[in-house]
Amino acid sequence: MPTASHHIRLALFVLAGLACLAATLVLLGQRQNLFGSSLAVQADFRNVSGLLTGNNVRLAGITVGTVKEINILNDSTVRVMMHLNRDVQPYVRKNAVASVGTDGLVGNTIVNLTAVAAPAPLIAEGDVLRTTTPPAIDEMLATLSISNKNLVGITEDLHQITGKLNDSRALWQLLGDQKVAANVRQTLRHAASATATLQASANDIGHLTRGIRQGRGPAGYLLTDKEFAKQLRHTTRQLARSSDTLAGTLGSLQQQVQSGNGPLHTLLTDTAMSGQLRQTLGHVEQGTDGFNQNMEALKHNFLLRGYFRKQAKRKAKAAAQ
């Protein structure tokens, strides 16, 4: 029954098992920085969104450490203690900003360290880092929804303005200069069509936010519905184009009316009509400002960020050529 070969086999079997365990522990330990020397730093957050000890800390997308401890300091502050690898010390400065994020749309919670383009000494043991809180998905959706409401308001304003300008017979009669009149009419037509497009876009975005709210969450929605992605791209493109057109239209209108020459200018400067027209134009200007702000807000929206980035790249490319 008991033979030496049995015992050798048993020993190999046990060693193989222990090797598996050791390999796992060593690999995990390396990743979690258990065995290397480390640098402890802290950061205070308002909300750590389910961060756990052992989660990764990343600098420029590279894992440089792990979360060691999470303590609640008071009702609005959570102190997170992180261990960073010693060898990244030369790359992290005291003014780096920590934020809690996720690894992809559905991944682990992680801490991101972001370098700030300002001189600062290198990070040292025990430093407390500044933090920012990236908007949560709910907040993003809220922003998107507000942007959309603004967009609807603006398009209505624009619609009224162009309507007023168009209906103002006195203005057209006074505009003796045929060429100028034609120009103005054309720009107004552009503006009108831009407004229509904008309205459609607003509808699309409304549909988008509603869909996300009711649906399977943004991740599922984006991952599964290819049609939706296409639609989103289209909507943003329309928005951008409308914005460009409007800016152009208003620019030329203003130029023609305000710095114009001939009888138009004279008439406009001292009649009641002129006052009214100025006011209208003022409104239009405000409207475009607001619109531009909204566009800016949309650009920061996480869902549309990618699109705008691409757009910017394309522009940069075009400019370079």
Tell me the torsion sign for CA atoms 274, 276, 280, 285.
Answer: positive
CA angle at residue 176 from 170 to 182, to 5 degrees?
90
**CA 59 – CA 113 distance, rounded (Å):** 5
Which among 54, 105, 109 has a CA at the least distance from the CA of 82? 54
- Residue 291 Cβ vs another protein, minimum distance, rounded to whole Å: 35
- Binding part of the chain for another protein, among 20-28, 111-119, 149-157, 290-298 by CB under 8 A, reads 20-28
**Among residue numbers 40 through 59, which ones bind another protein (CB under 8 A)?**
52-54, 56
Closest to another protein by CB, 64 or 253: 64
Site membership for another protein, residue 293 (CB under 8 A): no
Closest to another protein by CB, 122 or 223: 223
- Residue 300 Cβ vs another protein, minimum distance, rounded to whole Å: 25
**What is each CA distance from 211 to 94, 148, 236, 253, in whole angstroms?**
42, 14, 17, 39
Residue 110 near residue 58 (C-beta atoms within 8 A): yes
| C-beta contacts of 206-209 below 8 A and 24+ residues apart | 206/145, 206/148, 208/144, 208/232, 208/235, 208/303, 209/141, 209/144, 209/145, 209/148
Closest to another protein by CB, 223 or 312: 223
Interface with another protein: number of residues (CB under 8 A): 28
**What is each CA distance from 67 to 26, 30, 40, 45, 302, in whole angstroms?**
18, 14, 10, 13, 26
Tokens 């075009």, residue?
Answer: 318
- Residue 295 Cβ vs another protein, minimum distance, rounded to whole Å: 30
Site membership for another protein, residue 13 (CB under 8 A): yes
- Residue 97 Cβ vs another protein, minimum distance, rounded to whole Å: 24
**String marking each residue 94-123 x if it binds another protein according to CB under 8 A:** ------------x-x---------------
CA atoms within 13 A on the CB side of 27: 6
**String marking each residue 188-227 x if it binds another protein according to CB under 8 A:** --------------------------------x--xx---
DSSP element (H, E) containing 268: helix 262-270
- For residue 69, give the 3-state DSSP assignment: strand
- Residue 13 Cβ vs another protein, minimum distance, rounded to whole Å: 5
Site membership for another protein, residue 61 (CB under 8 A): no
Closest to another protein by CB, 28 or 116: 28
φ, ψ of residue 216 to 5 degrees: the values are -85, 25
**CA 91 – CA 79 distance, rounded (Å):** 23
Site membership for another protein, residue 35 (CB under 8 A): no
- Residue 64 Cβ vs another protein, minimum distance, rounded to whole Å: 14
Site membership for another protein, residue 16 (CB under 8 A): yes
Binding site for another protein (CB under 8 A): 1-2, 6-7, 9-10, 13-14, 16-18, 20-21, 24-25, 27-28, 31-32, 52-54, 56, 106, 108, 220, 223-224
